[in-house]
Amino acid sequence: MANRREFLSKTGILVAGGLFFREDLYGALSKHVSQHQIGLGLFTLFNVMDDDVPGSLKKVADIGYKEVESAFSKKGGYYGLNPKQFAALTKDLGLSWTSHHVLGAPFKLPKDFKIPTGADGKPVVMPSIRNLRDNYQELVDEAAEGGVKYLVCASTPIGSIDEIKSSVDVLNKSAEAAKKAGLVFCYHNHDAEFKKVDGQVPYDMILSGTDPSAVKMELDLAWVVKGGYDAVELFKKHPGRFPLWHVKDLSANHQIIEPIGNGSIDFKRIFAHAKTAGMEHVFVEHDMPADPFASIKTSFTSVTKLFS
């Protein structure tokens, strides 16, 4: 199952039975999150978004989504636009540009990696992607210019204890700059953060090594489940630290990403603790779906029931 970390590594971007939603869940959840709008993580549309940015966003709005979280683009920047242009486009479509994803550090390609070719048979040329380690102030300033509320580190090196410590330093430094600019800084997890490195769990090191008042978390519920951790226990241990959630479903064996409601995750139990988590925004996401618009439509229908 390809996740964002694996996808980015493989593409070279890092270089430069269903769940039934019951009425008792609706009632419990509505006490805490009825005021929230459903958002979409635009990484879901990575393979189609750049072909028609306005058209893609219109389809998102037409489905009913009210918020978006921008991510990586083949065009570079903000889907080929500058921050103010992208903000204006989303506003015109009735969407709130709430959050933006950035990388924590540049990554190196595997030695045997081959650059994919495009329709013309030539190697695909990807724009260089700035990162917090080298460009944190620039990324913070652009996010502030675009008017987003949240700046999120989507991925950072955690392969060794030294890498984790270095990443923690970058997160703290970036969070300080974000706070000065009026932004809320968050860290987004994958499942790798829950796998021990030299006897220590990277996610625990990130939580304990960063300032809880400055570094919040965007918890990806599916990767927590796949990583063998319990989201509810994280909420109880670190109350109020999880204002952003990524919501996607997993197959029973946790190997396939599914649209919300088509998989096995017990959302009832997790969403019932939204207040403890400090949840403020929910972003639907599906990494590399075969039919992204069909997926996000199914997910929107399911998540809407959670807000009823």
Q: Is the pLDDT of residue 19 over 70?
A: no
Residue 180 CA neighbour count, 13 Å, CB half = 10
Cβ-based neighbours of 147, under 8 Å, separated by 6 or more: 83, 87, 97
Q: Does residue 15 or residue 244 have the better pLDDT? A: 244
pLDDT of residue 221: 98
Q: Does residue 117 or residue 291 have the better pLDDT? A: 291
pLDDT of residue 1: 55
The predicted model gives 156-168 an average pLDDT of 97
- What gap in Å lies between CA 305 and CA 169, rounded to an integer? 40
The predicted model gives 259-272 an average pLDDT of 94
**Which is nearest to 136 in space by CA: 89, 107, 169?**
169
DSSP 54: H
pLDDT of residue 303: 92
Return the minimum-mean-pLDDT range out of 20-34, 119-133, 170-184, 243-257: 20-34
Return the minimum-mean-pLDDT range out of 37-51, 83-97, 98-112, 208-222: 98-112
pLDDT of residue 130: 94
Return the minimum-mean-pLDDT range out of 5-9, 137-141, 240-244: 5-9
The predicted model gives 16-36 an average pLDDT of 40
pLDDT tens column, 206-258: 999 999 999 999 999 999 999 999 999 999 999 999 999 999 999 999 999 99
Return the minimum-mean-pLDDT range out of 11-15, 40-44, 240-244, 271-275: 11-15
Report all structural domains of the chain as residue ranges with CATH numbers, in order of start.
4-306 (3.20.20.150)
- What gap in Å lies between CA 11 and CA 302, rounded to an integer? 31
pTM summary value: 0.87
- What gap in Å lies between CA 9 and CA 216, rounded to an integer? 25
The predicted model gives 140-165 an average pLDDT of 97
pLDDT tens column, 57-70: 999 999 999 999 99
Q: What is the residue whose two structure tokens read 């204890």?
A: 161
Classified as helix, coil or strand, 124 is coil
User: What percentage of the chain exceeds 90 in pLDDT?
Assistant: 78
User: Mean pLDDT across the chain, nearest whole number?
Assistant: 88
pLDDT of residue 275: 95
